[in-house]
Amino acid sequence: MTTDSAQKIEINLINALEDRGLRKTSARAAVTQRIEAAGDAFTAEQLCRELPEVGRATVYRTIRHLVDAGALCKLPILDGAPMYSVARVEHHHHTICSRCGAVGEFRHSTVERVMRSLEKEIDGDIVGHRMEIFITCNQCLADNAKGDSHA
C-alpha cells in the first residue's frame, strides 16, 4: 500500500492533559505512562486491570480527556468494548484486526480526494470524517494457516 508521508507528531500524553487544565497527579501520570509504554491499542478495562492502584473512574476520565484532546483515537470494535490507540499522525484512518484487535494507522491521498469530492453531493458542510477498515491481520492469517495444516 502506498501511503502519504504523514507528519509524525510527538505525543506527550501528560502534557495533553495539562493543556486541558488538568493537574499532573501521580494517578494520571501512571495512566499516561502505561498507555505510552504499551504502544498497542487497549480497552479501558485492560487499562484498569493493569493499574489496580488507580481508581477506575480516574482511568476512564483520563481516557476521555485524552480522546477529547485528540491524543487518543477511540476505535469502534465490531463486537465488544471500544479500543483506544495513541494518535501518532495528524489525520489518519485505522485498520483493525477483527480477530486480535491489532490497530494500524494509514493515510491515503485517494481516500482524502474521494472524501473531498463527496462534499458536492452531500447537503451541508462536512466537518470531519472517520474510517475504520476491519481486516484479518497478516499475523492472524499466518496463525490460521498453521492451524489448518495441523488439522
Q: What angle do CA 111, 112, 117 make, to 5 degrees?
A: 100
* Site for Zn ion contains 108 (CB under 5 A): no
31, 44, 87, 96: which one binds Zn ion (CB under 5 A)? 87
- Please select the residue that binds Zn ion; options are 74, 99, 106, 108, rule is CB under 5 A: 99
Q: Name the 3-class secondary structure at 12.
A: coil
Is 97 one of the binding residues for Zn ion (CB under 5 A)? yes
Among 73, 83, 84, 96, binds Zn ion (CB under 5 A): 73
Q: Is 66 among the residues that bind Zn ion (CB under 5 A)? A: no
Q: Which is nearer to Zn ion, 53 or 121 (CB)?
A: 121
Beta strand 93-97 with 132-135 is: parallel
Decide if residue 100 touches Zn ion (CB under 5 A). yes
DSSP string, 71-106: SEEEE--SSSS-EEEE--BSS-EEEEETTT--EEEE
In terms of CB distance, is 54 or 97 closer to Zn ion?
Answer: 97
Distance CA 64, CA 59 (A): 9
**Which chain residues interact with Zn ion by CB under 5 A?**
73, 87, 97, 99-100, 102, 137, 140
